[in-house]
Chains A and B, each alone.
Chain A
Amino acid sequence: MTTLAENKFSIDDFMAAERAKDLLRFSTAGSVDDGKSTLIGRLLYDTQSVYEDQVRSIEGKGTTAPGQIDFALLTDGLRAEREQGITIDVAYRYFSTARRKFIIADTPGHEQYTRNMATGSSTADATIVLIDASKGVLPQSRRHAYIASLLRVRYVLVAVNKMDLAGYSEERFGAIKADFSALLDQIAADTGNPVEARFIPVSALAGDNVVHRSEAMPWYSGPSLLELLESLPPAQQSNSAPLRFAVQRVLRPDASFRGFAGQVASGTVRPGDAITALPSGRTARIARIVTFDGDLEQAHAPLSVTLVLDREIDISRGDLIVSSDAPATVATEIEASLVWMDAQELAPNRRYLLKHASHVVPAVVARIHHRVPLESQSDPTAQSLAHTEATTLGMNQIGVVSLRLLRPIAVDRYGDNRLTGAFILIDQASNSTVAAGMIRAAVALPQSQAAQLLQTAITGPVTSRERFVRWGHRGGVLALTGSIAIADQVERVLFQEGMVTLRLETPAGEGAHFREEAASLDQTAHCAAQAGLLVLIVTASDERSLIVHAADHQATLSTEDPQRISTEIHALLTEAGMLAQPWRPDYEI
């Protein structure tokens, strides 16, 4: 127990020093045996960030020599991990030094945990890539560097570990540095996101250059890993970036107050600033920046505040308030990199929910441009990153796709803004988070069309535009003639993709009664199509294929494979104008 008087502890001095500390988030990745857990355990232990009871609880356990502490045990939390001796999930650690507070996202590095690496990288300012000095650059290091670059982690700190086992060799360190630098250039060319790399020779087990500078490598005059972490500029968004503020909630405690609660994603906001609410395009000026602690003269990222405007404009949750000088892009068609994270693979044309900033919109993946193969068997020192064609993306795979959104949203390129350029995809049936997306490009929707689309009538009959926004297609009639099995598949595929269908069977027979029935069927189909449904009129025959008519277009299907049916039916629906977005110039009522 400390006697307070002896220490002459001054809370004011202490708090002043604490207030001067900022927060740096970094991630690490590595596999079972490259010493990552040991490195983190060492960082925590040597900065006195672990308590004695935590050290006591692991003493005498683990795999290190008797008397030595197995630092890896400080960080492996779940029972399954301790039983199997591996790390299976992202774990967060906290420590601080005299200069800075740190949050570590500690992620497993195996191929099957690409999704965890992406998760840890998404909020990181820096990442530590561990390379075993005796093994050199492995496919795993390449995958890690690629994900860091894709997710725009600004600083990559390459810790060349186990230098003690490599005889503290400067040549070995130099060779790895050269290999990895070449790799980083290659990766930056592919992702479009350059990274700043630093190389440090370390031994996590012996403690060389982790916290303290090592005497074992006089040829290295640079900082230790911790010194480097302490001196990295915080990679927050620059305050001169354009204002982005996603409205999370409208606060109206009484008739006299109407404020928009949210967090400044980038830039600075001041009373008097001209803003635009997207996607509606309505403009106003900032009247007040309200907080519980009093009004502010300015607020910048990442403060959470409440904005009050100088006039009443219609803004609700999901809208993006941007600086009128530099607005975001309003779009329904975007191109993005996807990291697939679910066991159920990507289904093109199927409806997913896309969560971006503070809103959720239905979206479909209209096209897969390519996949980036980062598997172990591919050569880590190949000259360039090959792309492969792909019809889907499976768990832990990365690719570039085009998405079509059923409602316009305001976005930025991920390369310009890490918050307004990112999204996740959610499976509507399982509710799982299935993918992380980073926007590469967006097709700007002319403001007049976006505004027209967003005119949401509260009264009067429901319009075809409103139905399109709800269902993702216009109404129409498809005549299906031939194989009943294929017709069943067509109906099922459309249904699974979230389309609203009505199936009618043509009556069999002849005579006046039959003609009457056929006419009545036609009438029903027409009405339903007008109400926005996709009507399938099925005429079964013994044919082994199925002919589908839509308006003046036709397709012949001779397979029951859902994926091929989906592709061909979508091509037909597109030709027939049934997927034409009502806010596109080529739309016809």
Chain B
Amino acid sequence: MSVLDIFPESSSQPVAPPAGAPEPAPRLSQPRLSRLSHLRQLEAESIHILREVASEFERPVMLYSIGKDSSVMLRLAQKAFYPAPIPFPLLHIDTGFKFREMIEFRDNMAREVGAELLVWRNEPAIAAGTNPIALDTKRCCGLLKTQALLDGLRHYNFDAAFGGARRDEEKSRAKERIYSFRDGAGQWDPKNQRPELWNLYNARIHPGESIRVFPLSNWTEMDVWQYIHEEKIPVVDLYFAKERPMYVRGESLLPIEQSFVALPGEKPRMVKSRLRSLGCSPCTGAIRSDAGTIPEIIAELLSFRSSERANRVIDHDQEGSMELKKREGYF
């Protein structure tokens, strides 16, 4: 018997309210049932989605971005097809600006899980020296992420691509379907999305079109960390607080990587810090933190008053910038 937490009926009573609390609301009729914790419900839903896609598409792929959401998605894929191997490859879109730890972690992970790992880079743009300082972040992302993603998907002829995006991340993501239809150019039309009812997904596409699939749509940042804790899923060391050399600009902590361009006279300082969300090194700020373990990260998350993407430069370029990027084919 596994440790799946299926609660017997007896434990489904609500916790007694503290003294002085208003009296509890009257209860409606109670059917006989046992309860599944919210994480188990989310897990079951995600596994259902992974299996549907693997069965209904000819060439699915999992976009693996090395972050915590990708780590959870990868574990769910292992669970969905156990004892068989994961029936699709992983694809990493490498901008050349990823942290060194991320690349090492990626290669180890793929080996351990036994999945086929594909890496795609927009080599012409990288060779031309594309970077977010010379260009603006919007154009840099457009070339190194969006263009690379579209080229990679086209090169391998994938018709469905899993992404680890969650609806709680950003306003325009809140409206995205689990099966997000993309036209022949990989673009999203938010006003013309297919209705999505029950757990019935429409997998029909014409040649050249594709579907982006988001199995973690209904997970929150807190759910992801709780699941990582419960399932003991390995994540990149950058998520854990350590003394790291940082350039400090106002409230921003900028990690040092090979690509960093310091201002004249700027010197790095050792700061106890961690990354809350992993992106490209020039565009991902660190946060001051003492959280060196997953329980400490969860405790820290409970105290946070800012959303996780607040440290991502790319989302704030302009009002609705994520939506614009997504329309162009970004994840």
Contact = CB atoms under 8 A, between A and B. Distances in A.
Interface of A: 1-4, 7, 9, 11, 14-15, 18-23, 51-54, 75-80, 82, 88-94, 96, 98-99, 101, 103, 115-116, 118-119, 122-123, 155, 196, 198, 213, 222-223, 227-228, 230-240, 248-249, 251-253, 257, 259, 261-263, 290-297, 300, 302-304, 306, 317, 341, 353, 355-356, 358, 418-419, 422-424, 426, 428, 431-433, 436
B54 interface: yes
B200 A292 contact: no
Please list the 8 inter-chain residue pairs (A to B) with the smallest Cβ-Cβ separation, ordered nearest first.
A223-B25, A11-B295, A77-B171, A304-B47, A293-B2, A122-B197, A294-B2, A253-B84
Contacts of B1: 294-297
Contacts of B31: 233, 235, 238
B129 interface: no
B55 interface: yes
A292 B34 CA distance: 22
B80 interface: yes
Contacts of B78: 292
Interface in B16-62: 22, 24-45, 47-48, 51-52, 54-55
Given A257-B83, A353-B204, A426-B204, A20 B37 contact: yes
Contacts of B199: 123, 263, 419
A236 B323 contact: no
A358 B85 CA distance: 21
A296 B200 CA distance: 27
Nearest to B55: A249
A23 B35 CA distance: 9
B299 interface: yes
Given A90-B175, A123-B198, A306-B82, 18 more contacts: A1-B303, A9-B302, A18-B37, A20-B37, A92-B167, A96-B220, A99-B15, A115-B195, A123-B197, A222-B25, A227-B25, A251-B83, A293-B3, A293-B79, A304-B48, A358-B55, A418-B198, A424-B202
A227 B24 contact: yes
Contacts of A317: 55
Given A2-B300, A355-B200, A355-B202, A19 B37 contact: yes
A231 B24 contact: yes
B39 to A, nearest CB: 8
B37 A21 contact: yes
A75 B295 CA distance: 31
B306 A227 contact: no
16 contacts: A11-B295, A18-B226, A51-B306, A80-B190, A92-B167, A92-B175, A93-B168, A103-B218, A123-B197, A222-B26, A233-B31, A296-B2, A297-B1, A302-B36, A302-B45, A436-B197
Contacts of A304: 43-45, 47-48, 51, 79-80
A92 B52 contact: no
Interface in B142-198: 167-168, 171-172, 174-175, 190-191, 193-198
B4 A293 contact: yes
Contacts of A19: 5, 37, 39
Interface string B278-293: 0000000000111100
Contacts of A119: 195-197
Nearest to B181: A431
B7 interface: yes
A303 B5 CA distance: 11
A303 B78 CA distance: 16
Contacts of B51: 248-249, 261-262, 304
B229 interface: yes
Contacts, number: 265
B36 A22 contact: yes
Contacts of B175: 77-78, 89-92
A78 B4 contact: no
A290 B3 CA distance: 13
B305 interface: yes
A291 B37 contact: no
Nearest to B23: A223
Given A223-B26, A234-B35, A249-B54, A2 B299 contact: yes
A51 B304 contact: yes
A295 B174 CA distance: 36
B82 A228 contact: no
Contacts of A94: 167-168, 218, 220
Given A1-B290, A20-B11, A92-B167, A303 B79 contact: no
A122 B198 contact: yes
Contact of B35 (A22, A93, A238, A295): A22
Contacts of B52: 248, 358
A303 B2 CA distance: 13
B307 interface: yes
Nearest to A423: B200
A196 B36 CA distance: 23
Contacts of A239: 32-34
Contacts of B226: 15, 18
Interface string B94-128: 00000000000000000000000000000000000
B304 A79 contact: no
A92 B218 contact: yes
Nearest to B219: A94
B217 interface: yes
Contacts of A90: 175
Nearest to A99: B14
Nearest to A436: B197
Contacts of A115: 195
A9 B229 CA distance: 15
A450 B324 CA distance: 51
B81 interface: yes
B298 interface: yes
Contact of B298 (A11, A232, A355): A11
- Find the residue from B45, B82, B85 having the highest chain A CB count within 10 A: B82
A236 B25 contact: no
Contact of B25 (A122, A231, A436): A231
- Find the residue from B3, B7, B36 having the highest chain A CB count within 10 A: B36
A290 B45 CA distance: 17
Contact of A52 (B5, B43, B299, B305): B305
A101 B229 CA distance: 18
B233 interface: no
Given A4-B299, A292-B78, A227 B47 contact: no
Interface string B218-249: 10101000100110000000000000000000
Given A1-B290, A290-B82, A436-B197, A88 B191 contact: yes
A422 B198 contact: yes
A433 B84 contact: no
A551 B200 CA distance: 42
B78 to A, nearest CB: 6
Interface string B287-328: 011110011101110111111001000000001100110000
A354 B79 CA distance: 29
B32 A238 contact: yes
Contact of A93 (B3, B41, B174): B174
